[in-house]
């Protein structure tokens, strides 16, 4: 594993005395898409602020691509692009002007061709001469993304990029994030939409009350969580499971009145038809059936709750 960001024991206590980060250890891998989930006030924005130089950490260190973000801030920040959660944009500047400004601010010489590409990718090219205040909220969000990409960062932070964004723009963003990953850019995004994390992320981290409570490969997490169950409520209780049903992952409930079939893969799902047929042949009737599946959302909520 090749880490690109390593946060060690990062704490942040705001002037109000509120501790927003309580010793965060987090490693982001080079080239991955990392989704940081957590309820409102969990500390996501604060953590991003510490990495990007907007929030002074109370203690702890963050190293970005080998550079300490405080001691060696010039080298570290040159590699990082940030799309903030708030829609803070200039008003009278044009789209082209504000994006060029960002590029200069991050120490890059002018490159009209590159800025054009960024604007085209974000469907902002037609709007390049428009003043930012004349744009819609979704357009402003794109402008912020264009600004963050203007200096060709290797690490991109997207703090709730799809909040208040329509379906189409959200798809566009997902596409953009994937194509960025193809060019080797590491993307860290926060979101409240679980399906977004499911769709996009390679790994998922959950933060709650200033602590990282889970970091896992999405695939492994989904495996763990993607468990589905079919419950059959029987007409008459069964004394025991008939032997002919042994090929199925069936369980008889302790009160003998329910059969629970647990399946994970598509192959196992395909067994359902056979199972029902077998039950009919055996004359086992049922009066109700229900299926349940645990989603990322469920696990997420349970994680956050159990921690409370």
Contacts of 276 (CB under 8 A, 6+ apart): none
**Residue 190 near residue 159, CB atoms below 8 Å:** yes
**Residue 7 near residue 24, CB atoms below 8 Å:** yes
Stretch of residues binding other proteins (CB under 8 A), selected from 94-102, 214-222, 254-262, 293-301: 94-102
Binding mask 72-91 for ligand ATP (x = CB under 6 A): -------------x------
Residue 281 is encoded by which pair of tokens?
């042949």
Sheet hosting strand 80-83, strand order edge to edge: 80-83, 155-159, 186-191, 33-37, 203-208, 211-217
Binding mask 2-41 for ligand ATP (x = CB under 6 A): ------------x-x-x-x-----------------x-xx
Binding mask 98-137 for other proteins (x = CB under 8 A): --xxxxxxxxxx----------------------------
Single out the residue of 187, 190, 181, 94 nearest to residue 134, CA to CA.
94
Which residue lies nearer to Mg ion by CB, 62 or 230? 62
User: Which of other proteins, ligand ATP, Mg ion, none lies near 83, with the C-beta cut-off 5 to 8 A by kind?
Assistant: none
Judged by CB under 8 A, which of 1, 40, 56, 184 binds other proteins? 56
Q: Per CB under 5 A, does 186 bind Mg ion? A: no
3-state secondary structure of 40: coil
Which positions touch ligand ATP (CB under 6 A)?
14, 16, 18, 20, 38, 40-46, 85
């Amino acid at each position: 594993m090749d880490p690109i960001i390593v946060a060690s024991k990062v704490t942040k206590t705001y002037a109000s005395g509120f501790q927003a980060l309580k010793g965060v250890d987090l490693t982001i891998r080079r080239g991955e898409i990392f989704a940081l989930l957590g309820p409102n006030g969990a500390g996501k924005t604060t953590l991003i602020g510490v990495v990007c130089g907007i929030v002074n950490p109370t203690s702890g260190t963050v190293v970005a691509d080998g550079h300490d973000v405080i001691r060696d801030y010039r080298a570290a920040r040159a590699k990082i692009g940030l799309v903030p959660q708030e829609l803070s944009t200039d008003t009278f500047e044009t789209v082209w002007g504000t994006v060029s400004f960002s590029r200069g601010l991050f120490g890059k010489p002018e490159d009209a061709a590159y800025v054009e590409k960024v604007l085209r990718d974000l469907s902002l090219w037609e709007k390049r001469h428009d003043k930012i205040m004349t744009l819609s909220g979704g357009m402003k969000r794109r402008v912020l993304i264009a600004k963050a990409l203007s200096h060709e960062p290797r690490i991109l932070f997207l703090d709730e990029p799809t909040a208040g964004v329509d379906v189409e723009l959200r798809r566009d963003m997902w596409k953009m994030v994937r194509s960025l990953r193809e060019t080797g850019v590491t993307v860290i995004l926060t979101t409240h939409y679980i399906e977004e994390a499911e769709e996009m992320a390679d790994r998922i981290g959950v933060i709650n009350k200033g602590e990282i409570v889970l970091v896992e490969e999405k695939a492994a997490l989904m495996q763990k969580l993607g468990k589905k169950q079919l419950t059959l409520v029987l007409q008459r209780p069964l004394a025991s499971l008939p032997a002919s049903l042994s090929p199925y992952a069936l369980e008889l409930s302790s009160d003998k009145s329910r059969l629970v079939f647990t399946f994970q893969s598509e192959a196992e799902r395909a067994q359902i038809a056979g199972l029902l047929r077998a039950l009919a042949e055996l004359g086992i009737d049922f009066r109700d059936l229900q299926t349940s599946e645990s989603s990322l959302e469920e696990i997420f909520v349970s994680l956050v709750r159990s921690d409370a």
